[in-house]
Structure 1
Amino acid sequence: MLPGADIQFSNGNVGSVVASADGLFGLLASAVAVATKFDLETAYLLKGMADVAELGILPDLDNHKLYITLKEFYEEAGEGTELYLYAFGKDTKVSDWFTADAGTGKVPAETLLNVANGAINGLFTCYDPTEAITVADEMDEDVVLAKQKAQLFAENYINSKFAPFFILIEAYAFTGVHADLPDLELEDNNRVGIVVGSGQKRTGVPASLGCVNHVIMGRLARIPVSSNPGKVKDGALQILTAYIVDSPVEEYDVEYLHDKGYITLRTHVGKAGYYITDDPLATNPDDDYRYISRRRVIDKAYRIAHGIATNEINEDFDLQNDGTIDPFYAKTVEGLVEEAIFNQMTANGELSRDKTDNNDLGVKATFDTTVNVATTSTTKMDLYVRPKGTSRWFKINLGFNVNLNN
């Protein structure tokens, strides 16, 4: 085994109940190539609609959905936001994009991540097939397989490349019958989420069977990693219409979708516009990384810690008489990790700290000083960060009291 740094995610510690490239994402899309301008299975880095135009991606029959996806992404994220685009033929399925090739062992989506050198923090899908689909569990039957394949791919890629990310896929061709949808809260896919809802009616021209992954991607691209994309203070989404199949979102039981772990759209009484309901991933309520905002926070801490750890690979340091790590060296590296995470996360408001304790950095790194490094050549560190809280439920007791000054 090559010398390297390995960080394992610790889970079950939160007790959950039911100025970097943090918003650099990748879009995997169905598309038709444009001669001399836009090739399939080729990575492109976009910075705005001018780049989309240069690629020849137009709102025509071939690439109508892809154009709308990119247009609404930039309306939400803002021009100048970097986005990686990688397109596949319309005869492929989303599950194919996350399935290893039998001949090469490579996963198609891996190419985009490799081109970006691990900088991509999230993958989003834009599915627009020419082939007929089969509906099962009230949506394209491939969604369930794609979810499983995406989770496995993410886990394997992160274990080998040390570049964490999450994936959002569409509940493509959702029929509108929510009672028979799979309950995502019974699953264990904490790197994959499923989105329901569109900015266009299903019976529009052309028909809209996809979802607003791209709008959520745009919102996530411009907010801190600790922020929920459904945060009301960040304002309504830029889209002016929102539907579940043909029903306006405000007329549909989106609470049912939310309670089954899907990400969708909603309105708030007394406020104009549309908002994201919440940011759950397809996993159980006890998972520390159930929410995208928690996922992004821990992934950012992972990247920072890994950057420090790789600097120490093959480093030589003093040992104690029993072969354990020198306390001075241990404290030095612990300090480097804590300082880096504090400066890049806590100081930016992405981690919590106890403001009554000047020594609280919102992060704690501790070496295991009992390990005999002389025989194992392995050092072990526990690293914990304190997440921000989220006010998902705000309860107010309201009543009369004539003795308000007592």
Structure 2
Amino acid sequence: MLPGIDIKFSNGNIGTVVSTADGVFGLLTSAVAVVDTFDLETPYIVKGMTDVAKLGIKPDVDNYRLYKWLSEFYAEAGEGQELWLMGFPKTDKVSDWFTPDVATGKTPSEALLDASNGRLSGCFTCFSPDGAYVLTVANGMDADVAAAKTLAQTLAENYTNNQYAPFFTILEGYGYTGVGTDLPNLLEESNNRVGVLIGATEKQTGTVPFMGASTSVLAGRLASLQVMENPGKVKRGALKPLQAFIVDDAVEVVDVETLHDKGYITFRTHVRKAGYYFTDSRLATAENDDYHYIERRRGIDKAFRLAHNIVSNEILNDFDLTNEGKIDPIYAKDIEGNLEREIFTQMTSRGELSRDKTNPDDLGVQAAFNLDANVAVTNRIEMVVKVRPKGYARWIEILLGYDVELNN
């Protein structure tokens, strides 16, 4: 095993029932190649619709869905936002994008992840198969969604462990039938790096039939937010689309609570507020998972990257040992301080982690070496890093009534 770092995610601690480009995402999409400008299974970077035009991606029959995804993403995120994309043949299923090659062991999606050199913190899918695709409905949606979900989780876990580049994936609830009770309960799963979106900016049976979901809008909203912000945050304002549907019905008349209660992300409205919002940011895992929500996932992943940046400098470094063969406390304290300062600077000071303002020494992060480990024997140094998350006003209770003695 090569000298390196093993960073594991501690879980179950919250008790819930150099700067990183936090909003750089990847798009995995069905597409048709454009001669001389856009090849399939090839990574591309775009930063706006001008770059999209240079690739020859147009709202025509071949790449209508891809063009619409990109236009909705930039409407929400704003021009200039970096986005990596890769197109796959329309004969592929989404699960194919996450299936390892028998010979190489690598998935098609990894080409995009590798090309970005670890910059991608999230991936989104846009499935637009050719006319030969046969939709197989199982548990209320395309059966391939379940297969892709499991494979995407495995890829994310493996890539995080091997490349130190954590990311999450949002899939479309493709082919959703509109019967929420048929859907599997994602809260009974353990895929805390995968989420499923249901709902779109157009009807399934519109002028151009659409069986997918508008992951473009979710990606655009997340790209415009800091890592600790929920995409459904009302203070950020309504989403850009003026229409939102689930199957063929306007979101206003759909029972979105059932979808939410089963762990899906979808659209909603708020009384006396114009426009559409996201219900929440759930991933396909239990509610008591520390990383059940996208913002918790993004926050811990950013801390992971920062910790790796600092501690990787110490690989194969030499240091003094105590008489018992343990790590020198002064050396340990130096690294702890470097790591804490980095995470404080890049996250806490930006409001992405909580800080106890009653304690001037609180940084929102704590790093501590195991000073009892016999490093002389094991050549392994151990440390624990803890960060304090933000709180979220998911449920607000107000007791309202009359009282003539307001000053008492």
TM-score by length of 2: 0.99
Secondary structure of the corresponding residue to residue 35 of structure 1: coil
2:237 paired with 1:229: no
Task: Give a deviation string over 1:1-20, Cα, whole Å, max 9, x none.
Answer: 11101110000000111x63
Residue number in structure 1 paired with 2:190: 188
In 2: Cα distance, 1:207 partner to 1:403 partner: 61
Shift of 1:208: 1.2
Secondary structure of residue in 2 paired with 1:280: coil
User: Which residues in structure 2 correspond to 1:293-312 (within 5 Å)?
Assistant: 293-312=295-314
Residue 79, structure 1, aligned to residue 79, structure 2: yes
Out of 321, 330, 333, the residue aligned to residue 332 of structure 2 is 330
Residue of structure 2 in register with 1:121 after alignment: 121
Unaligned runs of at least 5 residues, structure 1: none
Q: Distance in 1 between matches of 2:373 and 2:234?
A: 48
Judge conservation of contact 2:187–2:286 (CA < 8 Å) in 1. yes
Aligned pairs for 1:69-218 (under 5 A) are: 69-130=69-130, 131-218=133-220
**Separation (CA, whole Å) in 1 of partners of 2:97 and 2:345:** 37
Q: Equivalents in 2 of 1:313, 1:335: separation in Å? A: 17
In structure 2, the gaps of 5 or more residues are: none
Structure 1 runs (4+) deviating above 6 angstroms are: none
Aligned residue pairs total 405
Residues in 1 aligned to 2:207 and 2:111: alpha-carbon distance in whole angstroms: 33
Supply the AA of the counterpart residue of 2:110. E
Contact 2:20/2:302, CA 8 A, preserved across alignment: no
Aligned mates of 1:110, 1:158 — CA distance in 2: 12
What's 2:28 paired with? 28
Partner residue of 1:246?
248
Tell me, in whole angstroms, the C-alpha distance in 2 between the residues paired with 1:398 and 1:277.
26
Three-state SS of the structure 2 residue aligned to 1:384 is: strand
TM-score, normalisation: structure 1: 0.99
- For residues 370 and 128 of structure 1, what CA distance do their matches in structure 2 show? 56
SS in 2 for 1:108: coil
Question: What's 1:382 paired with?
Answer: 384
| Structure 2 residue identity aligned to 1:127 | F
Letter in structure 1 aligned against 2:80: G
Give the distance between the partners of 2:362 and 2:177, measured in 1 at CA.
50
Cα RMSD over matched residues? 0.7
Letter in 1 for 2:146: V
Task: Specify the SS of the correspondent of 2:86.
Answer: strand
Match of 2:393 in 1: 391
Structure-1 separation of matches of 2:391 and 2:199: 27
The AA in structure 2 aligned to 1:370 is D
* Structure 2 match to 1:3: 3
What's the % identity of the aligned pairs? 60
Cα deviations by residue, 1:214-238 (Å, 9 ceiling, x for unpaired): 1000000011000000000000000
SS in 2 for 1:262: coil
1:401 counterpart = 2:403: yes
SS of corresponding position for 1:7: coil
What does residue 353 of structure 1 align with? 355
- Residues in 1 aligned to 2:77 and 2:83: alpha-carbon distance in whole angstroms: 10
Q: Distance in 2 between matches of 1:205 and 1:56?
A: 23
CA distance in 2, matches of 1:404, 1:190: 48
In structure 2, the residue matched to 1:277 is: 279
The separation in 1 between residues aligned to 2:215 and 2:372, in whole angstroms, is 47
Q: 2:319 aligns with which of 298, 317, 320?
A: 317
1:367 corresponds, among 366, 369, 372, to 369
Q: Distance in 2 between matches of 1:345 and 1:89?
A: 40
- 1:248-287, CA deviations, whole angstroms, 9 ceiling, x for partnerless residues? 0011000110000000000000000000110010000110
SS at the partner of 2:243?
Answer: coil
Query: What secondary structure does 1:272 align onto?
Result: strand
Q: 1:157: Cα distance to partner?
A: 1.0
**Deviation of residue 37 (structure 1)?**
1.2
